[in-house]
């Protein structure tokens, strides 16, 4: 198996290292107006109070990196993204994952960021590679590479691996090291394809074995349209961590998600003497007694 690579992401005051040799890093997903009507309405009115609260609560719940998305229809995304990012940076000191499909908004955000950010994302389309990777290089960032290209999302793990290889190869040509490329195998909902979960898991295994790069995933996508989603998400998350997932994009406020990550790390020998598991247990007991 290829050596496990370490990706370093930083803010002005904090550094986060991501590797299969270290505990799982949760990337908080909640600062995103997509599918969240209250956040969308607040941002449309220039109200950042929910963003601030989400940032603080996610960090308190264990998120080491926060994904920041300001995709509000009709808004000036470059300006809005800068405002949202500044609010988050003022409220917390964790590194950020800049989540935008707009290269202009991405540049605007990168210009105000202090540290080494994670960019979400580039994909295997030539247009995306040519627009995003030069910015990754210019600003010394790390980037998430989505396993999709001009033909869409491949249906087999082998074809998704090929897209990952294309992104990593193009990054290398620009002088972006493999450790600064985090691959997303793309979890699709099992509600429409019962094989979707297995395909993503097998892609994780293939990418980890061949390249040793870190791997992310929007875990909640896997259960879209299905009931009792928290149980599906937490079970799948633990399985994906065993397969090689290192930095899931997820909701750390969900207890089942927190415990799945903690239990997976403990089971894989990443929690010496179970100290973090025991600490988390005591914190849960304290909250229950206070409620």
Is a pLDDT exceeding 80 seen at residue 291?
A: no
- The whole-number average pLDDT for the span 10-31 is 97
For residue 158, what are the CA distances in angstroms to 173, 202, 279? 23, 9, 40
**String of DSSP letters for 45-106:** TT--HHHHHHHHHHHHTT-SEEEEE---TTS-HHHHHHHHHHHHHHH--S-EEEE-S-HHHH
Q: What is d(CA 172, CA 120) in angstroms, rounded to the nearest whole number?
A: 18
Is a pLDDT exceeding 90 seen at residue 99?
A: yes
What range does the domain containing 134 cover?
A: 7-290
- The whole-number average pLDDT for the span 49-54 is 96
- The whole-number average pLDDT for the span 41-63 is 95
With CA atoms as reference, report the closest residue to 55 among 42, 38, 68: 68
Q: How many domains does the chain have?
A: 1
pLDDT number for residue 55: 98
The helix/strand/coil state of 235 is helix
Is residue 2 a part of any domain in this protein? Answer: no
pLDDT number for residue 2: 86
Yes or no: say if 143 and 103 are a contact pair by the CB < 8 Å rule.
no
- The whole-number average pLDDT for the span 11-15 is 97
With CA atoms as reference, report the closest residue to 248 among 136, 141, 158, 120: 120
Is a pLDDT exceeding 80 seen at residue 233?
A: yes
pLDDT number for residue 1: 57
Is residue 251 a part of any domain in this protein? Answer: yes
Q: What is d(CA 175, CA 283) in angstroms, rounded to the nearest whole number?
A: 44
Is residue 113 a part of any domain in this protein? Answer: yes
Q: What is d(CA 279, CA 272) in angstroms, rounded to the nearest whole number?
A: 12
Q: What is the CATH number of the domain that holds 49?
A: 3.20.20.20
- The whole-number average pLDDT for the span 253-274 is 97
Is residue 231 a part of any domain in this protein? Answer: yes
At 199, list the tokens. Answer: 């395909």
Is residue 126 a part of any domain in this protein? Answer: yes
Is residue 1 a part of any domain in this protein? Answer: no
- Write out the H or E segment, with its range, that includes residue 7: strand 7-10
pLDDT number for residue 35: 83
Is a pLDDT exceeding 80 seen at residue 254?
A: yes
Is residue 263 a part of any domain in this protein? Answer: yes
Is a pLDDT exceeding 90 seen at residue 287?
A: no
pLDDT per residue as tens digits for the range 134-172 = 999 999 999 999 999 999 999 999 999 999 999 999 999
pTM, two decimal places: 0.97
Largest CA-CA distance found in the chain, in angstroms, rounded: 56
pLDDT per residue as tens digits for the range 117-134 = 999 999 999 999 999 999
């Amino acid at each position: 198996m290829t050596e496990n690579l370490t990706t370093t992401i930083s803010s002005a005051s904090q550094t986060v290292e991501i590797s299969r040799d270290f505990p799982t890093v949760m990337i908080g997903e909640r600062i995103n107006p997509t599918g969240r009507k209250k956040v969308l309405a607040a941002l449309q009115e220039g109200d950042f109070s929910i963003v601030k609260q989400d940032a603080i609560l996610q960090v308190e719940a264990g998120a080491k990196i926060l994904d920041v998305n300001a995709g509000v229809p009709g808004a000036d995304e470059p300006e809005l993204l800068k405002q949202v990012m500044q609010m988050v940076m003022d409220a917390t000191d964790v590194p950020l994952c800049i989540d935008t499909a707009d290269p202009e908004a991405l540049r605007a955000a990168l210009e105000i960021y202090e540290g080494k950010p994670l960019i979400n994302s580039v994909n295997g389309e030539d247009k995306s590679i040519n627009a995003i990777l030069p910015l990754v290089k210019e600003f010394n960032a790390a980037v998430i590479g989505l396993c999709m290209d001009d033909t869409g999302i491949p249906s087999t793990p082998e074809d998704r691996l090929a897209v990952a290889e294309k992104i990593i190869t193009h990054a290398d040509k620009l002088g972006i090291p493999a450790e600064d490329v985090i691959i997303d195998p793309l979890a699709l909902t099992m509600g429409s394809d019962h094989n979707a979960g297995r395909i993503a898991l097998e892609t994780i295994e293939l990418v980890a074995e061949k390249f040793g790069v870190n791997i992310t995933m929007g875990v909640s996508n896997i259960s879209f349209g299905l009931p009792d989603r928290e149980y599906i998400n937490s079970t799948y998350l633990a399985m994906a961590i065993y397969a090689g997932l290192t930095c899931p994009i997820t909701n750390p406020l969900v207890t089942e998600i927190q415990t799945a990550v903690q239990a997976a790390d403990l089971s894989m020998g990443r929690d010496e003497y179970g100290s973090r598991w025991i600490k988390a247990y005591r914190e849960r007991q304290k909250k229950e007694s206070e409620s």
